[in-house]
Amino acid sequence: MCRTLFALLCLFAYPGTPASAHAEPTIPTMQWAGIVAPTRESRTEIVNQGFSIESVVEDTAYGFVPAEVLDSLRLQGYEVTSSLAASEMNPQDFPDQDAVYHNYAELKAELDTLVTLYPKLAHLFSLGRTVEGREIWGLRINASAENAESPTALPGIVFMGGHHAREHLSVEMPLGLARFLLESRDPAVIDLVNRRDIFIIPQVNPDGSEFDIASGRYQSWRKNRRADNKCAGVDLNRNYSYQWGTGGSSKNNCSDVYMGPEAFSEPETQAMKRFLESRPNLKVLLSFHTYSELILYPWGHTYNDLTNARDLAAYRKMATTMAAWNGYHPQQTSDLYVASGDTTDWAYGTLGIFSFTFELSPNGWGGGGFYPGPGIVQKTIQANLKPALYLIDLADDPHRAVAMPETTLFFGR
Ligand code: 0X9
Ligand code: ZN
């Protein structure tokens, strides 16, 4: 078991302690570990203590955890099935092999190209700047708007990726979707695009993404790059304000699920807040993450079902419909583990936007985890086009999903 585990772990390019950029003897070493946690409650409990769960295989949760937290979990009686200091892991893969992925400059160049090729349809804008001063780019696809700001009566939808630095595939997915929507000559797609106000924000956390690749070796970095705490970074997907800090996130700034000193403490989440609040026509949101092949819908901060039965019925129908197309597993977010402060709970709980998280491929850490290689990019984009078109169509009224027969051609009316 251990041998197999080590072989698989070596697929992760994780060369050193993320905190080593601020090396002090007191900074705990990050570990990759497996812990027996067979129920959602036990998984929530270990997340609460600072364990960042990345995948669940049978009764074991795998993820990153500061060494001191792992020691404490052991003392509490948790069975640790495997653990490995990050610094012991040698990368087996080289970023050169992954040249198909877009770094920050390449992403901007690609967005510029799309705007140049489709000036009447595509409008580039900045949502604001990151901790390190990078612009967070957004692309608006709207056939009747003159620019990124002009008002519209059309129903809106937003796709986003890259909240978590190492989840590079989650940047490629919305970027690939943008390209598809602009390039398609399918009359049904053209008609759909003409009827909607579509926003694509491929990389919410460019500082983190750049840090992850900058040294030429992947850093398995998750958070943003706030540098004024002992260990750098805030988990942006724990920093939104809805039920912030109520479970499944950590006050320990060395944890990968550090919630930040207060809700919306980070310029990246502030930028998202400003953007989403300024667009009342937005009715649907999809935040791409990796990995595990899941379709998640609220709530994430509580095991309770949504109290709005009409919304819940629509969410369930939408999730199962999309799952039949991409083969992912649909579930309420908290069935995995409770986590508070994420994008989707806030967007739905505060703004009423129908919000999903997709955990993209691979479906387990045997497939390369956060670094699944170049071959998966186009497959993932293709697999998720139909779900994306379905959501775009439903942006006028997601409740329409409930009465829609499974076989309905969801666009092209
Ligand atoms: O933990 C997360 O932020 C997401 N998983 S990831 O492996 N990409 O980090 C899932 C977020 C789902 N939201 C909640 N559990 N509330
Ligand atoms: Zn993520």
CATH class of 104-403: alpha beta
CB 237 less than 6 A from any atom of ligand 1? yes
pLDDT at 368: 87
CB 289 less than 6 A from any atom of ligand 1? yes
CB 197 less than 6 A from any atom of ligand 1? no
CB 243 less than 6 A from any atom of ligand 1? no
- In this structure, which long-range contacts are made by residues 379-384, counting pairs with CB atoms below 8 Å and at least 24 apart in sequence? 380/169, 380/172, 380/173, 380/176, 381/172, 381/173, 381/176, 381/177, 381/180, 383/325, 383/326, 383/327, 384/173, 384/177, 384/326, 384/358, 384/360
CB 342 less than 6 A from any atom of ligand 1? yes
Ligand nearest to the CA of 250: 1
For tokens 């460019």, name the residue.
206
For tokens 């977010």, name the residue.
333
In the chain, what are the domain boundaries? 30-89, 104-403
pLDDT at 366: 76
The rounded distance, in Å, linking the Cα atoms of 192 and 376 is: 27
pLDDT at 189: 96
The rounded distance, in Å, linking the Cα atoms of 381 and 378 is: 5
Query: Relative to the CA of 334, which ligand 1 atom is closest?
Result: 15
Query: Relative to the CA of 289, which ligand 1 atom is closest?
Result: 8
CA nearest ligand 1 atom 11, residue: 342
Tokens of 174: 């919305």
CB 357 less than 6 A from any atom of ligand 1? yes
Residues in the chain where the model's pLDDT stays below 50: 1-27, 89-94, 409, 411-413
Distance, CA 76 to ligand 1 centroid (Å)?
Answer: 25
pTM of the full structure: 0.84
For tokens 């993209």, name the residue.
360
Q: Decide: helix, strand or coil at residue 284.
A: strand
CATH class of 30-89: alpha beta
pLDDT at 299: 98
What would the pLDDT profile of 339-365 be if each residue is shown by its tens digit?
Answer: 999 999 999 999 999 999 999 999 976
Active-site residue list: 359
What distances in angstroms separate CA 285 from CA 159, 344, 372, one per listed residue? 6, 8, 25
CA nearest ligand 1 atom 12, residue: 333
Is residue 231 a contact partner of residue 188, using CB atoms and an 8 Å limit? Answer: no
Phi first, then psi, for residue 165 (nearest 5°) are -55, -45
DSSP assignment of 360-376 equals: ES-SSGGGTTT---TTH
Ligand nearest to the CA of 355: 1
| Cis peptide upstream of residue 202 (ω within 30 degrees of 0) | no
Ligand nearest to the CA of 291: 1
What would the pLDDT profile of 299-323 be if each residue is shown by its tens digit?
Answer: 999 999 999 999 999 999 999 999 9
CA nearest ligand 1 atom 9, residue: 54
Exposure string for 243-256, b = 16+ CB within 10 A, e = fewer? bbbebbbbebbbbb
